[in-house]
Amino acid sequence: MNASDSDIRLEGSVRRGRAELLLAGAASVALWYVPWLGYLVFPLKLFVTIVHEGCHGLATVLTGGVVQGIAIHPDGSGVTISDGGDAPIITMAGYLGAALCGALALQLVRRRNGGSLACAVIGGGMLGITLLWIRNGFGIAVGLLLSASILASLRLRPASVREFVGSFLCVQLCLNALFDLRDLVYLTTQTNAPNDAVFMSERVGLTPAFWAGLWAVLAVAILGVGLRQFWSRPR
C-alpha cells in the first residue's frame, strides 16, 4: 500500500468517525426532546449516575481512602460513602470526573474501531464499579444490566453498529455531564437542597453557587479540548 492509499483510508476513517459522532448526537437530542422516546432517557441517567459515583470512588482510592459503598436510587440519584482520602478532591471528582470521562471517551472513538474499544472500556469499567463498590440491590441490578448490555454490544454486526453504540455512549457522557452541572447550578442558586457544591462549600468555604459555576466552566473547558482533539487530529 502506497502513501496515497494510506492517506485516503485515513481520511475515510476520520470522516466516518465524525459522521458517527454527529449521528449519535442527533439520536441523543431526539431522546431528550421527542416525547415518545423519553422513556429511554431513564436508563441513560442511571448510566451517568454510576459513572459520577464511580468517579467519587476512584478519587477516594487515589487519595488514600476506602470506599465503603455506593448506592444508586430509583430516582436517578446516587451516593458514595467513603472513609478517609482527600475530601475536597473526592467531592469535586463526581462532576468533573464525568466530564473527563466524556473527553477521554472522545479520544477512544476517534480511533479506528474506536466505538468497539469505547464499549469495552465503558462496559468493563461499569462492571468493575458495580462489583467492587455498589451495595444496594437496585444499584447492583442496574449496574449489572447496563454493563452486560454494553459489553453485549461488542457482538453486534455489522461493525458500524458497534461504532455507533460507542459514539452514542460517548455523547451521553459528554451531554449528561453538562446537563447535570446545569441542574447543579440551578440547585445552588434556587434551592437549599444538599448536593456536592454545598458539601464543598462546607469543607473549603465560598458559596455553593461559586463551586457549581467553577465546575461548570471547567467541565466545558475539558469537553471543549476533548472535542477539538477529536475533530482535528487524525486517527
Residue 220 · residue 178 · CB < 8 Å: yes
Residue 70 · residue 134 · CB < 8 Å: yes
Taking 60 as the threshold, does the pLDDT of residue 14 lie above it? no
List the domain boundaries for the chain.
Answer: 22-232
**Nearby residues of 41 by Cβ (< 8 Å), 6 or more positions away:** 31, 32
- C-alpha to C-alpha distance for 214 and 148, rounded to whole angstroms: 35
Banded model confidence at residue 10, pLDDT cuts 50, 70, 90: very low
Residue 205 CA neighbour count, 13 Å, CB half: 0
Strand (E) or helix (H) holding 70: strand 66-72
Better-scored residue on pLDDT, 37 or 79: 79
Cell of 84: 478517609
Residue 104 · residue 226 · CB < 8 Å: yes
Taking 60 as the threshold, does the pLDDT of residue 53 lie above it? yes
- C-alpha to C-alpha distance for 169 and 24, rounded to whole angstroms: 8
Q: What is the pLDDT of residues 100-154, one digit of tens each?
A: 998 888 888 777 777 888 889 999 999 999 999 999 999 999 999 999 999 999 8
